[in-house]
Amino acid sequence: MQLAADKGRLDMLRWLLERDRQAAAAARSCGGGGDGPGGRSLLHQVVYAWPDRGPRDAAQLLEAVRLVHSHVSHPPCPVPYPDGPLVVNRAVARCDMELARCLHRELGCGFDGQVLVWAAKCGSEELVEWLVGAGCVKHGGAYLQAGYRGDKAMLETLRRAGVPWGEGMVGAGARCRWCGGCLRRGRR
């Protein structure tokens, strides 16, 4: 299944899940929780390994996620996924808002403290606003990512969204290429 995900082969993944009873049984062990390499779920493996070459890959990944979930989510499995926040982080790092929404709303994957930092790094203001509205942790490190990129619009979006000015921002401001002065003085 890892090879199918690496190559972005939705048809191969579908065939493996539907035809190979052993693979489907492994996927069903409650989110695949720990069956894969490094104790990661099958969902995690698919999202991390799927190619990111454009809109077609994004659409196929969304379909693959729903396919894997349909094989995983059955009683008595407790879905949400234990590694769900890592999977959401990967979707956000890909700047794939549709996938992040699917993972959060349909599959019940939660957020961790880094998801907002990844959203700021990818530069999607819309994604930041959705994440804050969906209840993600407001992590001040997102300001650093926006500052390193010189993204004034993102800095303003973070401020409007009520993201707090994090601990350690003063020293880090000196390394920021665009807003070093404003970070050193503690201004937004």
Q: Assign 82 to helix, strand or coil.
A: coil
pLDDT at position 129 is 94
pLDDT tens sequence across 36-76? 444 567 788 888 888 887 778 888 888 888 888 777 655 44
Torsion of CA 68, 71, 74, 79, to 10 degrees: -20
Token pair listed for 65: 């996620």
The domain limits of the chain are 1-110, 111-188
Asked whether 186 and 180 are in contact (CB, 8 A), the reply is no
Residue 41: closest CA among 6, 74, 87 = 87
What average pLDDT score do residues 103-128 get?
Answer: 90
Asked whether 46 and 64 are in contact (CB, 8 A), the reply is yes
Angle of helix 152-160 versus helix 125-133 axis, rounded to 10 = 20
pTM of the model: 0.72
